[in-house]
Amino acid sequence: MKHKDENLYLKKIAAWLEQLRFRKQLFGGVSEQEVWKKIEELNELYEAALKAERVRYDTLIAYFKRIGKEPTEELTADD
């Protein structure tokens, strides 16, 4: 069962990657500084997605500890 925010973050990353463009330089292809800037932006997107996923997992773990049951396949499967 995929969480709606998970899809939102993945769609945001995919859209960012589709829009990714580098300015060309006369010598050397693309600006190394610009490449590092884009890598930093991508890393921030992945960190936000990871943070949201950690919150989701922590919430699920706390819930199942509270009710004293193991999660079922239905609740943990990626549909």
- Which whole number is the average pLDDT over 21-50? 90
Percent of the chain past pLDDT 70, that is, above it, reads: 81
pLDDT tops 90 at residue 74: no
pLDDT tops 90 at residue 2: no
Which tokens belong to 65? 């500890």
Residue ranges covered by each domain of the chain: 35-67
Alpha-carbon span 57 to 64, nearest angstrom: 11
pTM of the model: 0.66
User: What DSSP state is assigned to residue 35?
Assistant: H
Which tokens belong to 56? 């989701």
Of 64, 56, 58, residue with least CA distance to 1: 56
